[in-house]
């Protein structure tokens, strides 16, 4: 489970930062990639990575501002040209379906795969299977904007192989039954309960990815106990009033949410082009005064989310 930042800038592309797009790589878990927002030139950014567009099977859009959606028509078209034939599900605010279908129709684009649209009509769980649950809540941005919480199902503990060897359990199919928690019988008449030889359950990981927003209680709810929180940071702390006026957050806002929500790691993104070089470092340092485990994301930064041991 890895996060790859494809674009970390705000508003318009800049030399050092493209506009917003974040990939959640679930290759080990389900051999797929989930994309969160798709700003202009996202597919160009992908060319500098090992990502394969055909692996993207879900795209979650936080809101319909151009710097978060203008890359969608091109990426969807390229996915078809590059061998993508499996369905692609797109989640987002009402209007995302019309935007994409109109773009494809006007450009005469024909896809080799099925597009599925899930336009969000109410907060709550929007996707769930045996591995993951994705829920959303509205944020405050002057336009409908959502934050997403991705929760992984807990992992079953590992089979305690060394203990079983000492018991004299022969390696083979019996180990599979024990792993499933079954009771087996040995040749000498002893019985072994698999449940007694499975380690502690590993807590599933939680990732929270927020759309553009000013500081809000829903951000806190979405981020509670998350392993990773990705929060916009369009302004520095001194520009709090400007951030509120433009329905955005400061680095201090994000850090305060992270601390109060008890997250493990905070990444600041959606960085305004006004901040360059040392100024970006100052954004990070200021946020760290409120929440130490803060980093400013940069394009192509990758972060592996570890399982608790």
> How distant, in Å, are the alpha carbons of 87, 90, 223 from that of 114?
5, 11, 32
Listed in sequence order, the residues at least 6 apart from 108 whose beta carbon sits closer than 8 Å to its beta carbon are none
Tell me if 229 sits within 8 A of 208, measured CB to CB.
Answer: yes
Residue in 135, 100, 138 with CA at minimum distance from that of residue 117: 100
**DSSP secondary structure string, 144-203?**
--EEEEEEEPPBPPPB-HHHHHHHTPPSSHHHHHHHTT-EEE-TTS-EEEGGGGB-PPBP
Region of 249 on the Ramachandran plot (φ > 0 left; ψ -120 to 50 alpha; else beta): beta
Work out the burial of residue 259: count CB atoms within 10 Å of its CB; fewer than 13 is exposed, 13-18 middle, 19 or more buried.
Answer: middle
Q: Report the C-alpha gap between 251 and 268 in whole angstroms.
A: 7
Residue at token pair 């928690």: 181
Residue 224: Cβ-neighbour burial (10 angstroms; 0-12, 13-18, 19+): middle
Active site residues: 67
Q: Quote the CA–CA distance of 254 and 248 in Å, as a whole number.
A: 10
């Amino acid at each position: 489970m890895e996060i790859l930042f494809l674009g970390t800038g705000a508003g318009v592309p800049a030399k050092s930062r493209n506009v917003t797009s974040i990939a959640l790589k679930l290759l080990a878990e389900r051999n797929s990639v989930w994309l969160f927002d798709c700003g202009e030139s996202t597919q160009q950014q992908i060319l500098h990575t090992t990502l394969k567009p055909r692996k993207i099977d879900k795209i979650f859009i936080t809101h319909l501002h151009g710097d978060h959606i203008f890359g969608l028509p091109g990426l969807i078209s390229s996915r078809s040209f590059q061998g993508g034939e499996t369905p692609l599900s797109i989640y987002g605010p009402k209007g995302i379906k019309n935007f994409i279908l109109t773009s494809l129709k006007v450009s005469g684009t024909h896809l080799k795969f099925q597009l599925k649209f899930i336009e969000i009509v109410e907060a709550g769980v929007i996707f769930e299977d045996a591995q993951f649950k994705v829920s959303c809540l509205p944020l405050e941005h002057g336009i409908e904007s959502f934050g997403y919480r991705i929760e992984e199902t807990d992992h079953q503990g590992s089979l305690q192989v060394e203990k079983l060897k000492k018991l004299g359990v022969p390696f083979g199919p019996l180990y599979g039954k024990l792993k499933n928690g079954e009771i087996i019988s040995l040749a000498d008449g002893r019985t072994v309960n698999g449940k007694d030889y499975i380690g502690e359950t590993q807590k599933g990981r939680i990732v929270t990815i927020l759309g553009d927003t000013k500081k809000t209680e829903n951000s806190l709810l979405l981020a509670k106990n998350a392993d990773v929180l990705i929060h916009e940071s369009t302004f520095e702390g001194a520009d709090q009033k400007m951030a509120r006026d433009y329905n955005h957050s400061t680095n201090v806002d994000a850090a305060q949410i992270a601390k109060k929500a008890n997250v493990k790691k905070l990444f600041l993104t959606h960085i305004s082009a006004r901040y360059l070089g040392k100024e970006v470092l100052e954004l990070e340092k200021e946020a760290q005064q409120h929440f130490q485990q803060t980093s400013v994301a940069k394009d192509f930064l990758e972060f592996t989310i570890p399982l608790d041991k």
